[in-house]
Structure 1
């Protein structure tokens, strides 16, 4: 095949390149679906944080660690929550989301590499476009989807022409799917939830935060239950 075809120069012209139309039929690209898993967490996180808090009073043994932690959280003494950590596996999210997410600092990320992984068959995420009326929404979504798919096909041509993945990735959009393992302690998680469960948060990262909250609340309610209203309404 040619190193570079003429069709590669037409992505921004309003036309869908011929190789893109062929590519859709051949590879059948699909939208990514959000999936959040809680893959590991500190055993007995409420008791551990309660025992740690009890050191301040020289009394680690408590009849009700949950009630004790609720009082500690209400007082704003959240440093003891750093002893409990939670690890998530997340897929079906966009690079637009991950650019926001990695701004959270007191935590650990491991992300799918676009240097080591060929993205020719990668997935993508589309926004709901709920600010538009239905007819206009479908029209705009179609244009966005066409452009995103054409970027994947240009990426494929570049790779077949011998361009390295680390260079070919420059043509991909923020819609490109990524996968991440994330570990954070309970205190950092609470900070994350305060920001990302809020109704003014960007829709995609808010959906992810909602799923994360549901998972950790199920295993350690006293650490997070004061944030339930924020989870349900988007308001503190």
Structure 2
């Protein structure tokens, strides 16, 4: 039962993402039909730097709905069920998650860093993970022996902990991603989903910098912490302290 490590890969992005967002923004302010300019955008007749500059300036005004036309799809592994339960609470997204019905003899798991740093806590955690793995295997074998057969896994999995590793495919549009990053890149977010969000944000910045160069926790975009002083981490001043 090995400990798993986080891995995030970008699988797909809407083709011609920057040009598509540019066209969507232009349609909001353009008297003509953007389909007529689309070939020029794809051919490079309208320079990409011009497109990026226009998009960035409009985004600074607070108009961001056109970025919904572009989606990113990620594959993530080495996250716990505790993390995936937080992730799927973001509703404007699509998810395809590995089923625990297909866990077999071994169960990979995620160990919190706070536990890993304390030798006695780490030893107890690892011992319990082994106990869980053994219990899962024993229950599955017992259920098979009593005729449950192919359904044994789905009942034996009830003993698996939130630390159990899972794999998931996630698709979000750019606006949903910004909301996700605003919340989950915050220092107050739980450590594991923050690590996932940070890894996803880095992929987005590399792929589409005009949209994500200023992505992250809300304080990074605002220049101050929108939380009250009671909850602020101290990285930025709170709104009250600005006045």
User: 2:171 — aligned with what?
Assistant: 183
Please, which of 130, 133, 141 is the counterpart of residue 152 of structure 1?
Answer: 133
1:45-194 correspondence runs (5 A):
45-58=17-30, 60=34, 63=47, 64-115=50-101, 117-129=102-114, 134=117, 137-161=118-142, 162=144, 164-194=152-182
Query: Contact 1:111/1:179 (CA < 8 Å) preserved in 2?
Result: yes
Please, which of 27, 31, 37 is the counterpart of residue 9 of structure 2?
Answer: 37
Shift of 1:46: 1.6
Structure-1 separation of matches of 2:52 and 2:138:
57
Structure-1 separation of matches of 2:105 and 2:174:
37
> TM-score, normalised to structure 2's length?
0.77
Structure-2 separation of matches of 1:82 and 1:227:
15
Shift of 1:140: 0.8
Shift of 1:120: 2.4
Structure-2 separation of matches of 1:57 and 1:203:
42
Query: Contact 2:186/2:216 (CA < 8 Å) preserved in 1?
Result: no
**SS in structure 2 of the partner of residue 105 of structure 1:** coil
Shift of 1:72: 1.9
Alignment root-mean-square deviation, CA: 2.1
Shift of 1:227: 2.1
Q: Does 1:217 align with 2:189?
A: no
Query: Contact 1:110/1:180 (CA < 8 Å) preserved in 2?
Result: yes
Structure-2 separation of matches of 1:195 and 1:145:
31
**SS in structure 2 of the partner of residue 222 of structure 1:** helix
Structure-2 separation of matches of 1:118 and 1:67:
49
Shift of 1:44: 2.2
Q: Runs of 5+ in structure 1 lacking a partner?
A: 1-28
> TM-score, normalised to structure 1's length?
0.79
Aligned residues: 201
Structure-1 separation of matches of 2:208 and 2:103:
39
Structure-2 separation of matches of 1:204 and 1:73:
29
Shift of 1:71: 1.5
User: 2:241 — aligned with what?
Assistant: none
Q: Runs of 5+ in structure 2 lacking a partner?
A: 38-45, 222-232, 237-243
Which one has more relative contact order, counting CA pairs under 8 Å at least 6 apart? 1
Shift of 1:228: 5.7
Residues 77-109 of structure 1 show CA distances to partners (whole Å, capped at 9, x for unaligned) of: 111000000000100110010010000000000
Bigger CA drift: 173-182 or 71-80? 71-80
**SS in structure 1 of the partner of residue 109 of structure 2:** coil
